[in-house]
Structure 1
């Protein structure tokens, strides 16, 4: 099937099911789709490990000083949990932004890496978010995964095989360096991933970079440099962004008060929280509380 035919089928599915700018479940392997008919303003997002195949249109993701662009027939690999900002930059009624995505199974990535002598090219630096050309093999595998939504009986047998195939192609892709490095137990990326998991679990905890560096088994200077290379930001700025994103979820989805949300994510001063919240989101928390809950997107 050519890319144009896959785009037609995905757009038809979106039309039939009323899918729009928020991720819409397709029904196989956690696959979701997004169809956006116009460019968007920059919005905050917390990524989790995910693979996104862009079929049409173009998007940008911002991680600190790093900007990642990905457009038609390109794929995006996100190897870590991290806060970022994003926007759709190319979309229209005639040619909407269309993308398919699946969550990444990092345990499967590590399992596959053990079976490969040389998982893939290593010329690119390991960045938490990377884009690259989607070759025919990965497009075909995503097509077959998409079509399983209409073949539940076949899915019982084929779903794990297709997901395994997709993870293999990503692990060996040139822009899959972050996946290869995370799969190496003692790599810098694996150590940073471990620290990030701890930051997310204990989002309200006070952090000292010395302690984080010790947990990663690195000097403070090496830890700070590797953390920023991979995530695009410093450890403390990373935590601050996570805290603000979680506070926004607590305000909008769980309807907590501003002071309670601030305390729950680790702020001792509601005034400082409100100031940093407004700087990050463009609105003070009390005004932003009435908005619709932000959803993850790709």
Structure 2
């Protein structure tokens, strides 16, 4: 479990989400996936079921009332294990998005509280933490926000097929990828794959790859202090000029200028 606290609103910052469940205790945040905007505030939560590049922003926070959230990484193996305990009706296909938000049900809030209470009970953690983690995964599976997780547990669902393609993109984001090849990995027609990918993630496969490239390039430039051309080649761009143009379009600043500025937004919380 991770406790996130932010004492002021933030700029929009890039982030690559991993599967995660986040419960907001105070303040408000929003996440942008393609042209979709997802907002969540006090006692609301959001679930990310896939590795996803996105843009995030804490929109309500102050020193007196900071943004506070609890986050738990999701274990998809545990999701698959628990899926057999979920009624078949709940496993019916639904329109599933990669990021879902809404009001948090009481059992989930209670389980998160009990997990947080373990922070100073070191002797109890090895016994109780796995049990509470499993309980959290179960309540997520049967919740309204669990539709994507339920679909991921079905091997032939569109969500499960898209997750295979995302694993390929993430594993070789710097390589040239063809949508036809990704569709083959997913076991879908090209048109069906493209439509399902956009419906679930809010963007196209190639735009998804481009976002991963640019977010990694920004990390290399601002934190690793690579030169612009070096970062461009590292993430798969053959033309530094094209890289600079696309970088500026996404982040609103040129990579050369971004390299000289204080990397405040890269330190913002992911949850």
For Structure 1 versus Structure 2, the TM-score category normalised by the shorter chain is: over 0.9
Distance 1:154 1:247 in 2: 42
Give the number of equivalent residue pairs.
268
Distance 1:194 1:241 in 2: 18
Counterpart among 205, 214, 225 of residue 255 in structure 1:
225
Aligned-partner SS, 1:137: helix
Match of 1:241 in 2: 211
Equivalent residue runs for 1:145-184 within 5 Å: 145-184=115-154
Distance 1:118 1:219 in 2: 27
Q: How many Å apart are 1:116 and its aligned residue?
A: 2.9
When residues 51 and 113 of structure 1 are mapped into structure 2, their CA distance, relative to the original with a 3 A threshold, is same
Distance 2:88 2:119 in 1: 34
Counterpart among 232, 236, 239 of residue 269 in structure 1:
239
Match of 2:250 in 1: 280
Are residues 1:136 and 2:106 paired? yes
Q: Contact 1:119/1:180 (CA < 8 Å) preserved in 2?
A: no
Q: Contact 2:91/2:150 (CA < 8 Å) preserved in 1?
A: no
Counterpart among 48, 57, 62 of residue 92 in structure 1:
62
Q: Contact 1:194/1:216 (CA < 8 Å) preserved in 2?
A: yes
TM-score using structure 1 length = 0.86
Match of 2:159 in 1: 189
Match of 2:85 in 1: 115
Distance 1:119 1:53 in 2: 26
TM-score using structure 2 length = 0.94
Q: How many Å apart are 1:40 and its aligned residue?
A: 2.0
When residues 121 and 185 of structure 1 are mapped into structure 2, their CA distance, relative to the original with a 3 A threshold, is closer
The worse-fitting range, judged by mean Cα deviation, of 192-201 and 211-220 is 211-220
Structure 1: gaps spanning 5 or more residues: 1-30
Distance 2:156 2:242 in 1: 38
Match of 1:297 in 2: 270
Distance 1:174 1:121 in 2: 12
The worse-fitting range, judged by mean Cα deviation, of 274-283 and 288-297 is 288-297
Structure 2: gaps spanning 5 or more residues: none
When residues 127 and 37 of structure 1 are mapped into structure 2, their CA distance, relative to the original with a 3 A threshold, is same
Q: Contact 2:93/2:151 (CA < 8 Å) preserved in 1?
A: no
Q: Deviations over 1:11-52 (max 9, x none)?
A: xxxxxxxxxxxxxxxxxxxx1122222222211111111100
Q: Contact 1:119/1:172 (CA < 8 Å) preserved in 2?
A: no
Q: How many Å apart are 1:121 and its aligned residue?
A: 6.9
